[in-house]
């Protein structure tokens, strides 16, 4: 029964910073003083909602697993054992968690300005392939190739993100459509690159790029991949930025009332662009770290379903950057453990897609909170977006 | 009719020019022209159906970002329904049923529970991916090919008849009928007047005694039938197989087409045909080796085109006034 | 403003009781919107529901129309006490309602709007639009309305839109017509015409319930009046012949109200704001401000009087830097602000109380404290090198809360949970506290209770006396007349007349507002 305790264990790590209620318009407002008690109750409420959603998803998942002829208790036990308690399980889980936190943040930041970035996948892919190429080209630089790869990865991700932002601000095209289109375009481009210009000749026809140099690989220190540290630090930085800086105030004002932001003299288009550049940069960084820290080359399968997992994580985290850490870790556990599950029971690893989809469904349905708390005032919808411009 | 032509003179002129050009092309090289147009239409069929789903939803005031998911699950259900039952009809019905159920899900969460419409749609898509990935089993085949029919009389019209009515699948025919019926329905019937009212200014409809909530629920749910047909078309008609993620963004292309078509069924159908034709042209140029671009890049053409089309069309067309906003009774603003 | 005799008093007092409301109560959360209300309306009678904002008038009529369900009490229509289920039911039972926000679909034609919900169809589904047009034409001729059935509602002036609303109700054979603040958007002339229409309708046997807070109108048309305060009926006047506006005002507010504003004469200084030949477009890309010229001096209040929709909104937004200027110039104390953005205009010294406080003025989810620094959040002392200084933000909030009498549980309370008057005080406090050279107040007292209105008016006068130029834009002619030192009448995006407020003639201004000059 490792699961139910897994989340609460990680939660106490956070309240170092004062309770920042998630994006939901809790009547308490940003808790920073006497209103904090009310905010804390609401925060507690949404934690309960999330836990109920998770347990509900696990229960439905258990029924589905049983239907496949496998003991669900054994299945879940296998997942968590494989992910946490095997020799290198925790390391692999943390390595999996790294891009999940980052792609989660890539959804959270735009959500705070009222944009829904579905484009993490494309931003990740182009960031990753650009990093792989740049790092290979600069192998001679040794360790510095890491810097080159990471910077190039961030830039390419940010570039993809900025296209959606520009189309949004310049032409009013909805970002959900543009980012999805950019995902498909990115997929086409990387396939073309790995089967053409960037294909490693010595890979025996497998569509992938050259291996990057030994020195350009990001190591794992004491069982913790360095990339994981970077992701955690960035989550903290994002949370701090939103809470403490004037830039964060601009983000939230644009997200909560765009008209008032314009009235208050906040440059809305620039804020939207910045949010999408940050988002793209984070997803691109995730791609670069995956190349430097895990794969050491680029292949199209590198992205898996990371972009979409990022959406799940962001909604689980209620658009709070700090919460992407436990949410990312949970998804990381499931993804890592699923491979072992297939080995042990034959259940396809896509069971995780299903589990996450059900979780997402349950967390995002606003009435769940209403059912639990019977409160009319509390709107549980994690975020709201805008259609049109 | 005359008034209608007068009001739409630019569209009618454009359509006439396109038609004449098409016939000239047909006269020059009938074989190539016919295969390209057939390709364009078969590419356009699911887009037309999905764009109609979008039109009905948005005209009622509900954004349907989840068309992609409806499409995918319907394709899945249609294919495996037919493969396991051995009956094409069962497959079709399960595909349509899934479109309907997911439409109902979207309607219920957004209209009844006032969930953010964009988020609800995206969640729907992710759920669709989850279900179809997990339950996907390779190595299944359809019990038979979908029947293709020719409409006597119509099919002997050169070009148009040959493309649309000769040896064509039932779903493609349904698509044509659906475009016409929904277009007339929206602009000529009581249902259409009320639908446009609830999408433009729901409180006006409410105070006029129209049940906004129920009408949105019904419209969005029933539009799922069309998404279901589109899904069935993908896995059972245009191909005879199901692949993971085979909807490949068509649900989103359809939304772009809907915008490009200014939320009008006929124009949306024309826009879908335009998409189909550009794709057909690219593939023709590719096979004849006139251009030499990697197929992976050619494959991104519809997506690039969508971005371009939206960048051009946005700002020139006007979305229904209340689209994306949940309706709360008694809220008159 | 002498007492006028209620001419409608001819309507039979003994007529059939059409609407009988007994002991009606409705509570929202902890707020009692309606408390034990008892109201009767007879056939052919014009009954006014008088009360200030938030008195519960709209809640009451929304229950009659089936938009809200009462908690307790009965509403009988023509003796039938079955609860009104929804608007559809209300319409079927002969009740029509013209809402304050017009319930018309802007992109549809007049005929389409009028038949919406009770369409005549052919072949089971197809609209009979020809029949609808004929019906609208007949109805509109019968009432002398001159409304084109094929016009798109969006293109019609508000006065005509209101007629469409009335036709919509009449097309359904109403016995009782409810009008919610029907004169709020009309010129004085249009108001008179509407009052005439109301009398005609009553004479032909239609009962009318109308909501208003304008005393003059009550005395002009009503047969009887119910005065509401804090959700309860506090007064009922059956014979209005010996009632004065002062009597009604006292009943409405619960204490005697000063209907005029006491202010010392202005001592205008240098020109603060100079607007020259300004042209601005509206959201539909049509020119709304067409060659506007105006000067505002330090220490004076210039009131812009006009019917809504004559370019006032676009003018204010252009002055605030929120809307692009097509041509002309805006100068603030010698500094050119024609191309300035909101950030620059604010820092040049323009305080702006926006017309729509919910949309522009406040972020509902933010605390009062954050809203009070909405446009100064990145300035010292509220931020230092990009970091927000929560201590300073809080201190500022506590100071302004006391100074501007913002009633709240604490400065961390979310602005969205405040009452209309307190929300407006937050905006006013923010826009006055930084010492603006020009204060722009657009509809500063809309939807605000009388206490807050008096308070806000006093603060505006104080800002003037402290040396700021004040530009007041209001659709309430009485507000412009009583608060301004100088009045500019706007029509069609231009100033059509300027005059000192002292001795200004109400009727003349009304004609100018209507474009009659």
Chains that touch B (3 or more CB pairs under 8 A): A, C
Is the pLDDT score of B251 beyond 80?
yes
Task: Return the pLDDT at A18.
Answer: 34
**CB interface of A with C, residues 267-296, below 8 Å:** 267
In the CATH scheme, what architecture does the domain B30-313 have?
A: Orthogonal Bundle (1.10)
Give the C-alpha separation, C341 to C328, whole Å. Answer: 16
Q: Is A191 on the interface with B (CB under 8 A)?
A: yes
Cβ-based contacts of B134 with chain A (< 8 Å): 348, 350-351, 353-354
- Chain A residues with CB-CB distance to B64 below 8 A: none
Helix, strand, coil percentages, rounded to 5, for chain B: 70, 0, 25
Point out the least confidently predicted range of B222-231, B321-330, C491-500, C506-515.
B321-330
Distance of CA B72 to the CA centre of its chain: 13
Q: Averaged over C48-66, what is the pLDDT? A: 87
Q: Which of B127, B307, B315 sits opposite A357 (nearest CB)?
A: B127
Task: For residues A211-240, give the mean pLDDT.
Answer: 89
Dihedrals φ, ψ of C36, to 5°? 45, 60
Task: Render pLDDT for B105-145 as a digit per residue (tens, 0 to 9).
Answer: 999 999 988 888 888 898 899 899 989 988 898 888 898 88
Please report where in the chains the tokens 């809790």 appear, as a residue: A26
Q: Which of A181, A311, A356 has the CB atom closest to B307's CB atom?
A: A181
Which H or E run contains C371? helix C368-371
**Higher per-residue confidence, A369 vs C270:** C270
**What are the helix (H) ranges across C222-274?**
245-253
Instruction: Kindly write down the DSSP assignment for every residue of C160-198, as one continuous string.
Output: HHHHHHHHHHHTT--SEEEEESTTTTS-HHHHHHHHHHH
C-beta atoms of B211 and C105 within 8 A: no
H or E stretch covering C55 = none
Q: Mean pLDDT for chain A?
A: 82
The C-alpha atoms of residue C99 and residue C181 are separated, in whole angstroms, by 8
**C44-72 as b/e: b if 16+ CB within 10 A:** bbbbbbbbbbbbbbbbbbbbbbbbbebee
Measure the CA–CA gap between C250 and A134, rounded to whole angstroms: 80
The answer to whether B309 and B287 have CB atoms below 8 angstroms apart is: no
In a domain, A13, yes or no: no
CB B236 within 8 A of CB B91: yes
The neighbours of chain C, by the rule of 3 or more Cβ pairs under 8 Å, are A, B
* Residue C10, token pair as written in the block: 């001819």
Start-to-end Cα distance in chain C: 25
Lowest mean pLDDT of A157-161, C65-69, C194-198, C445-449, name the range.
C445-449
Best A108, A125, A188, A367 residue to mutate vs chain B (most B CBs within 10 Å): A188
Q: Exposed, middle or buried, C502 (CB in 10 Å: 0-12/13-18/19+)? A: exposed
Enumerate the residues of chain A whose CB falls inside 8 A of the CB of residue C343: 265-267
Answer yes or no: is A308 within a domain. yes
CA A137 to CA B146: how far, in whole Å? 52
* pLDDT tops 60 at residue C26: yes
- Contact: C99, B210; criterion CB under 8 Å: no
Q: Which residues of B touch A116 (CB under 8 A)?
A: 118-119, 122
Residue B279 or A232, more confident: A232
How is residue B44 written in tokens?
């356009």
Q: B189 — contact with chain C (CB < 8 Å)? A: yes
Residue A91, burial from CB neighbour count under 10 angstroms (0-12, 13-18, 19+): middle
Distance of residue C345 Cα from the nearest chain B Cα, in angstroms: 28
A176: nearest CB among B109, B122, B315: B122
Encode pLDDT of B77-103 as tens digits. Answer: 999 999 999 999 999 999 999 999 999
Closest Cα partner for C371 from C404, C322, C331?
A: C404
- Chain A nearest CA to C337, separation (Å): 14
Write out chain C residues lying below 8 Å of B205, CB-based: 105, 116-117
Please state the domain extents for chain B.
Answer: 30-313
Answer yes or no: are the C-beta atoms of A330 and A21 closer than 8 Å. Answer: no
- How many residues are there in chain B? 333
For A281, C350, C385, the CA distances from C347, given in Å and listed in that order, are 34, 7, 18
pLDDT digits (tens, 9 = 90+) for A129-148: 999 999 999 888 888 899 99
- Cβ distance of A184 and B300 shorter than 8 Å: yes
- pLDDT band at A29; cut points 50, 70, 90: very low
A191, A315, A387 member nearest B296 (Cβ): A191
- For C72, the token pair is 């307790």
Pairing label, strands C46-50, C207-212:
parallel
Listed residue (B175, B164, B202, B185) closest to B48, CA to CA: B175
Mean pLDDT value of segment A184-212: 86
The 10s digit of each residue's pLDDT in B134-184 is 889 888 889 888 888 888 888 888 888 888 998 888 999 999 999 999 999
For B329, which residue in chain C has the nearest alpha carbon?
Answer: C67
pLDDT at position A20? 34
Does the pLDDT value for residue A174 go beyond 60? yes
Burial A182-221 (b: 16+ CB within 10 A, else e): bbbbbbbbbbbbbbeebbbeeeeeebbbbbbbeebbbebe
Q: Check if B208 contacts C (Cβ < 8 Å).
A: yes
**B188–C126: do the CB atoms touch at under 8 Å?**
yes
Please give the share of chain A, as a percent, with pLDDT higher than 90.
42
Q: Mark which residues 318-347 of C lie under 8 Å from A by CB.
A: 320-322, 341-346
User: What pLDDT is attached to residue A366?
Assistant: 67
The residues of C whose Cβ lies within 8 A of any Cβ of B are 62, 65, 67-68, 86-88, 91-92, 97, 99-101, 103-108, 112-113, 115-119, 121, 125-127, 168
Instruction: Identify the pLDDT of residue A35.
Output: 41
* Angle value at C-alpha A156, between A193 and A163, nearest 5 degrees: 105
Residue A157 belongs to some domain of the structure: yes
Domains (range + CATH), chain C? 1-8+15-94+174-254 (3.40.50.300), 106-172 (no CATH), 267-349+438-517 (3.40.50.300), 362-434 (no CATH)
Q: Which of residues 115-144 of A touch B (CB under 8 A)?
A: 116, 118
Task: Tell me how far apart the alpha carbons of residues B193 and C112 are, in angstroms, rounded to a whole number.
Answer: 8
**Would an 8 Å CB–CB cutoff place A267 in contact with chain B?**
no
A residues 176-195 lying closer than 8 A (beta carbon) to C = none
Q: Say yes or no for a CB contact (<8 Å) between C341 and A267.
A: yes
Chain B residues within an 8 Å CB radius of A357: 123, 126-127, 129-131
- In the block, tokens 């259609």 appear at A387
- State how many domains chain A has: 1
Please give the model's pTM, rounded to 2 decimal places: 0.85
Dist CA A79 CA A92 (whole Å): 13
How far apart are the C-alpha atoms of B205 and B209, rounded to whole Å?
7
Predicted pLDDT at A36: 43
* Pair A120, A281: CB distance under 8 Å: no
Q: Nearest by CB to B200, which of C97, C107, C121?
A: C107
A269 touches chain B (CB under 8 A): no
Of B65, B283, B71, nearest to A180 (Cα)? B65
CB contact under 8 A, B205 and C88: no
The minimal CB distance from A192 to the residues B120, B252, B296 is found for: B296
A72 against A275, higher pLDDT:
A275
Which of B73, B106, B134 to mutate to test binding with chain A, by most A CBs within 10 Å of its CB?
B134
Confidence (pLDDT) at A373 = 56
Q: Give a yes or no: residue A383 inside a domain.
A: no
The Cα of B280 is separated from the nearest Cα of chain A by a number of Å equal to: 18
pLDDT digits (tens, 9 = 90+) for A69-82: 888 888 899 889 88
Residue A101's Cβ-side half-sphere holds a number of Cα atoms within 13 Å equal to: 29
Q: Please report, for the domain that includes residue A283, its CATH number.
A: 1.10.3470
Chain B residues inside the 8 Å CB shell of C117: 194, 205, 208-210
Interface ipTM > 0.95: no
Does C67 contact B188 at a Cβ distance shorter than 8 Å? Answer: no
What are the structure tokens assigned to C177, written together? 């017509």
* pLDDT of C275: 96
Confidence band (pLDDT; 50, 70, 90) for A37? Answer: very low
Whether chain C has a CB inside 8 Å of the CB on A389: the answer is no
Contact C104 B321 (CB under 8 A): no
The reported pLDDT for the residue numbered A372 is: 57
The answer to the question of residue A215 being in a domain is yes
* Percent of chain C scoring above 70 in pLDDT: 96
Select the residue from A29, A239, A377, A386 to test the C interface by mutation, using most C Cβ atoms within 10 A: A29
* Strands of the sheet with C72-77, listed across from one edge: C31-42, C17-28, C72-77
Q: Please give the pLDDT value at position B326.
A: 80
User: What span, in angstroms and rounded, lies between the C-alpha atoms of A39 and C30?
Assistant: 21
What's the confidence (pLDDT) of residue B149? 87
The whole-chain average pLDDT of chain C stands at 88
H helices present in chain A, as ranges: 2-10, 36-67, 72-80, 89-112, 120-137, 144-171, 175-195, 226-244, 246-256, 258-263, 268-290, 306-316, 324-345, 351-364, 367-373
Residue B17 in contact with partner chain A when CB distance is under 8 A: no
Residue C83 gets which letter from DSSP?
A: P
pLDDT at position C259 over 60: no
Q: pLDDT band at A11, cuts 50/70/90?
A: very low
Distance CA C260, CA B137 (A): 81
Determine the residue of chain A that is closest to B303 in CA distance: A181
Q: What domain range is A213 assigned to?
A: 26-373
The 10s digit of each residue's pLDDT in B275-315 is: 899 888 888 888 887 777 888 888 888 899 889 988 887 76
């Amino acid at each position: 029964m490792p699961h139910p305790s897994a989340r609460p264990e990680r939660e106490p790590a956070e309240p170092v910073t004062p309770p920042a209620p998630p994006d939901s318009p809790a009547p308490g407002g940003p808790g920073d003083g006497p209103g904090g008690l009310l905010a804390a109750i609401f925060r507690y409420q949404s934690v309960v909602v999330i836990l109920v959603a998770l347990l509900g998803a696990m229960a439905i998942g258990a029924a589905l697993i049983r239907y496949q002829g496998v003991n669900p208790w054994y299945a879940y036990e296998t997942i968590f054992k494989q992910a946490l308690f095997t020799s290198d399980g925790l390391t692999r889980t943390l390595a999996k968690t790294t891009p999940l936190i980052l792609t989660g943040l890539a959804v959270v930041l735009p959500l705070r300005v009222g944009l829904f970035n579905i484009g993490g996948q494309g931003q990740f892919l182009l960031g990753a392939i650009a990093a792989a190429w740049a790092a290979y080209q600069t192998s001679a630089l040794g360790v510095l190739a890491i810097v080159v790869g990471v910077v190039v990865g961030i830039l390419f991700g940010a570039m993809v993100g900025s296209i959606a932002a520009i189309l949004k601000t310049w032409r009013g095209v909805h970002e959900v459509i543009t980012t999805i289109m950019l995902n498909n375009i990115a997929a086409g481009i990387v396939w073309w690159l790995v089967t053409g210009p960037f294909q490693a000749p010595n890979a025996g026809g497998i569509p992938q790029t050259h291996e990057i140099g030994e020195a350009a690989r990001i190591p794992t220190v004491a069982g913790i991949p360095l990339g994981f540290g970077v992701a955690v630090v960035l989550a903290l930085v994002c949370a701090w930025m939103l809470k403490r800086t004037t830039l964060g105030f601009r983000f939230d004002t644009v997200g909560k009332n765009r008209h008032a932001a314009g009235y208050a003299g906040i440059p809305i288009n620039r804020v939207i662009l910045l949010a999408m550049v940050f988002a793209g940069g984070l997803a691109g960084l995730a791609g670069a770290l995956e190349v430097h820290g895990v794969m050491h080359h680029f292949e199209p399968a590198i992205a898996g379903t990371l972009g979409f997992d990022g959406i799940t994580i962001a909604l689980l985290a209620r658009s709070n950057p700090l919460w992407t850490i436990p949410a990312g870790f949970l998804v990381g556990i499931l993804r890592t453990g699923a491979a072992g599950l297939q080995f042990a029971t034959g259940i396809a690893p896509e069971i995780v897609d299903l589990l996450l989809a059900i979780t997402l469904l349950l967390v995002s349905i606003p009435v769940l909170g209403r059912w639990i708390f019977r409160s009319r005032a509390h709107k549980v919808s994690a975020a709201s977006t805008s259609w049109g411009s | 009719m005359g008034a209608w032509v007068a009001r739409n003179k630019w569209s009618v002129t454009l359509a006439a020019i396109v038609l004449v050009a098409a016939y000239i092309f047909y006269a020059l090289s009938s074989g190539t022209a016919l295969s390209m147009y057939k390709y364009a239409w078969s590419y356009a069929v699911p887009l037309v159906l999905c764009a109609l789903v979008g039109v009905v939803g948005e005209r009622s005031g509900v954004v349907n970002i989840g068309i992609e998911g409806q499409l995918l699950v319907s394709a899945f259900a249609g294919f495996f329904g037919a493969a396991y039952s051995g009956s094409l009809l069962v497959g079709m019905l399960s595909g349509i049923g899934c479109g309907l159920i997911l439409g109902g899900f979207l309607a219920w969460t957004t209209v009844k529970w006032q969930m953010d419409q964009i988020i609800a749609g995206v969640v729907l898509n992710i759920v669709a991916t989850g279900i179809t990935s997990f339950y996907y089993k390779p190595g299944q085949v359809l019990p038979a090919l979908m029947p293709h029919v020719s409409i006597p009389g119509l099919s002997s019209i050169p070009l148009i008849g040959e493309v649309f009515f000769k040896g064509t699948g039932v779903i493609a025919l349904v698509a044509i009928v659906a475009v016409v019926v929904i277009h007339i329905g929206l602009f000529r019937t009581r249902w259409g007047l009320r639908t446009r009212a609830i999408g433009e200014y729901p409180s006006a409809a409410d105070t006029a005694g129209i049940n906004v909530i129920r009408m949105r629920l019904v419209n969005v749910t029933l539009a799922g039938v069309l998404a279901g047909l589109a899904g069935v078309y993908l896995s059972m008609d245009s191909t005879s197989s199901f692949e993971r993620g085979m909807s490949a963004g068509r649900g989103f292309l359809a939304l772009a087409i809907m915008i490009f078509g200014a939320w009008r069924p006929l124009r949306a159908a024309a826009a879908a045909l335009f998409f189909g034709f550009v794709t057909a042209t690219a593939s023709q140029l590719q096979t004849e080796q006139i251009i030499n671009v990697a197929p992976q890049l050619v494959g991104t053409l519809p997506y690039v085109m969508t971005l371009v089309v939206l960048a051009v069309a946005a700002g020139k067309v006007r979305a229904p006034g209340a689209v994306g906003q949940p309706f709360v009774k008694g809220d008159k603003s | 403003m002498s007492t006028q005799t209620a001419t409608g008093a001819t309507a039979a007092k003994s007529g059939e009781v059409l609407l009988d409301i007994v002991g009606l109560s409705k509570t929202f959360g902890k707020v009692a919107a309606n408390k034990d209300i008892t109201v009767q309306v007879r056939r052919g009678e014009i009954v006014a529901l008088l009360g200030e904002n938030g008195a519960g008038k709209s809640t009451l009529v929304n229950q009659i129309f089936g938009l809200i369900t009462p908690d307790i009490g009965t509403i009988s229509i023509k003796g039938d006490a079955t609860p009104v289920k929804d608007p559809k039911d209300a319409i079927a039972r002969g009740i029509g309602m013209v809402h304050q926000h017009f319930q018309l679909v802007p992109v549809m034609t007049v005929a389409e709007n009028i038949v919406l919900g009770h369409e005549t169809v052919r072949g089971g589904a197809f609209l009979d639009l020809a029949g609808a047009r004929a019906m609208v034409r007949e109805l509109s001729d019968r009432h002398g309305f001159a409304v084109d059935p094929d016009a798109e509602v969006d293109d019609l002036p508000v006065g005509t839109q209101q007629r469409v609303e009335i036709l919509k109700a009449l097309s359904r054979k109403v016995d009782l017509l409810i009008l919610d603040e029907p004169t709020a958007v009309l010129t004085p002339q249009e108001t008179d015409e509407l009052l005439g229409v109301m009398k005609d309708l009553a004479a032909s046997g239609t009962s009318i319930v109308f909501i208003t807070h304008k005393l003059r109108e009550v005395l002009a048309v009503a047969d009887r009046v119910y005065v509401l305060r804090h959700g309860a009926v506090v007064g009922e006047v059956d014979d209005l012949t010996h009632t004065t506006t002062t009597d009604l005002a006292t009943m409405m507010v619960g204490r005697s109200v000063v209907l005029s504003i006491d202010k010392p004469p202005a001592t205008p200084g240098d020109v603060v704001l100079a607007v020259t030949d300004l042209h601005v477009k509206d959201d539909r890309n049509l020119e709304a401000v067409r060659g506007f010229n105006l000067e505002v001096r330090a220490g004076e209040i210039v009131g812009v009087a006009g019917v809504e929709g004559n370019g006032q909104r676009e003018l204010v937004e252009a002055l605030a830097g929120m809307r692009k200027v097509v041509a002309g110039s805006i100068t603030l104390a010698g500094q050119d602000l024609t191309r300035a953005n909101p950030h620059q205009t604010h820092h040049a010294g323009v305080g702006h109380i926006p017309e729509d406080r919910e949309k522009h003025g406040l972020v509902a989810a933010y605390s009062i404290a954050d809203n009070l620094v909405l446009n100064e959040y990145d300035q010292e002392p509220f931020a230092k090198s990009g970091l927000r200084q929560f201590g300073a933000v809080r201190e500022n909030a506590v100071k302004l809360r006391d100074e501007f009498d913002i009633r709240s549980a604490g400065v961390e309370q979310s602005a969205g949970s405040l009452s209309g008057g307190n929300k407006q005080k937050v905006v006013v406090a923010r826009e006055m506290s930084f010492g603006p050279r020009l204060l722009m107040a657009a509809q500063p007292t809309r939807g605000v209770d009388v206490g807050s209105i008096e308070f806000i008016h006093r603060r505006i006068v104080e800002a003037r006396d402290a040396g700021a130029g004040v530009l007041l834009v209001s659709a309430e002619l009485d507000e412009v007349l009583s608060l301004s030192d100088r009045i500019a009448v706007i029509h069609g995006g231009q100033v059509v007349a300027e005059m000192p407020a002292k001795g200004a003639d109400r009727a003349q201004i009304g004609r100018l507002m209507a474009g009659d000059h």
